[in-house]
Amino acid sequence: MKKRSMMSMLLALAMTMSLLGSVTVMAEEETEAVEASTETAEAAELNTVILKEADDSMINTYTLIAVNPDAPFTDADGNEVSDVAINTEGAAALIQFLLSAEGKELEANYGQEEFGDSLFYLLDGAPSYEGEIAPATDETATIRLSTTTSVNDSGLLGAILPVFEEEYGYTVEVQSAGTGKAIAAAQYGNADLILVHAKSSEEEFVNDGYALKLDGFDSERLSFLYNYFVLCGPADDPAGVAEAETVLDAFAAIAEGKYTFISRGDESGTHTKELSLWPADLGITVEAESFADYTDWYVSANAGMGACLVMAEEMGAYILTDKATFLTFVANGGVME
């Protein structure tokens, strides 16, 4: 009997030791998992940061323009294009919604929940619409919006368009590219309206007969939103742009030190703004020949804002971007689709 009791005690002790060992292993594995997760988070921390912002030279204004159905449409080779169908009624409905009290509230509040601040701001004196908005019909249900990448990459359109579509029955097909390409799509007859941010290009679009002044508005160009361009770069800021008195001084410091800079290079609104900030004596324009002597530091990417931010992070480079897209880039851990 004593032997059986002794055996039972030994067996119980062995089971206890085994259980304690398992608990210890599990605790160690959990600790290792937490440490690995922390290391991954630290490794994912971005090196690209905002170094210069809120400069008067860096206001970024967004404009809506309806496409004129009687515009002189051409193809990419400049040949006249006929039988272009423009959905003027659908374009008007979307513009009216974006300039309505409901649309403006969505625009002004976008970013508050995730970032604690708006990513876009309503322009003082922006046009407003208070009338009825026509619901979609079979003929007007599909609207083609050609727009800059910033309002798309930042998530603004993804937050607003579903509300419009749900309320009025439309489907909005978004074509997202740099402003130059977004405008070109409309000139080819492939868009019903544009949403862009390059004043000189917009004015040229109007003057060339591609824009339509909608009833109830004073002009073809309907500027309504703005945010800021920001100059970003590596956290250690080897060019010292954060200490520069103005953004013009910052760009001059980048050029003088030949620090790597990623340019959109796509005639977008951001690219147009960037070109205006370099010292005039550098002579940098949209033409490749103008920066042929600077290719050891000036990288013309011919790509969208998200792709260029990824390049800047990977190369430890400076870059000009709109603030909304940059904050979205950071929130996504440096990943842009």
- Model pLDDT, residue 82: 86
- 166 burial (CB, 10 Å; 0-12 / 13-18 / 19+) is exposed
Q: Which of 42-56, 105-119, 134-148 has the highest mean pLDDT?
A: 134-148
- Model pLDDT, residue 114: 84
- Model pLDDT, residue 44: 52
Is the confidence at residue 28, as pLDDT, over 70?
no
CATH numeric code, 60-227: 3.40.190
Helix (H, G, I), strand (E, B) or coil at 20: helix
pLDDT top residue among 227 and 336? 227
Is the confidence at residue 36, as pLDDT, over 60?
no
Give me the percent of the chain exceeding a pLDDT of 90.
73
Strand partners, 61: 226
- Model pLDDT, residue 27: 36
d(CA 232, CA 129): 36
Neighbours of 248 (CB within 10 A): 15
Please state whether beta strands 193-196 and 211-212 pair in parallel, antiparallel, or not at all (unpaired): unpaired
Is the confidence at residue 29, as pLDDT, over 80?
no
Q: Is-contact 328 120, C-beta < 8 A?
A: no
pLDDT top residue among 7 and 209? 209
Residues contacting residue 314 through CB under 8 Å, at least 6 positions apart:
none
pLDDT top residue among 22 and 70? 70
pLDDT digits (tens, 9 = 90+) for 149-179: 889 888 999 999 999 999 999 999 999 998 8
Q: How confident is the model at residue 337 (pLDDT cuts 50, 70, 90)?
A: low
Give me the percent of the chain exceeding a pLDDT of 70.
87
Q: How confident is the model at residue 23 (pLDDT cuts 50, 70, 90)?
A: very low
d(CA 165, CA 172): 7
- Domain parsing of the chain, residue ranges: 1-45, 48-56+229-331, 60-227
Q: How confident is the model at residue 5 (pLDDT cuts 50, 70, 90)?
A: very low
Is the confidence at residue 13, as pLDDT, over 50?
no
pLDDT digits (tens, 9 = 90+) for 121-152: 999 999 999 999 999 999 999 999 999 988 98
Please state whether beta strands 193-196 and 59-67 pair in parallel, antiparallel, or not at all (unpaired): antiparallel
pLDDT digits (tens, 9 = 90+) for 257-278: 999 999 999 998 899 999 999 9
Q: Is-contact 165 172, C-beta < 8 A?
A: yes
- Model pLDDT, residue 220: 98
d(CA 83, CA 73): 10
Neighbours of 151 (CB within 10 A): 28
Angle at 158 between CA 177 and CA 55, to 5 degrees: 65
Instruction: Name the strand (E) or helix (H) holding 323.
Output: helix 323-331
- Model pLDDT, residue 91: 98
Mean pLDDT, rounded, of the chain: 87
Measuring CA to CA, how many Å separate 13 from each of 20, 159, 336? 11, 62, 56
CATH numeric code, 48-56+229-331: 3.40.190.10
For the full predicted model, state whether its pTM sits above 0.85: no
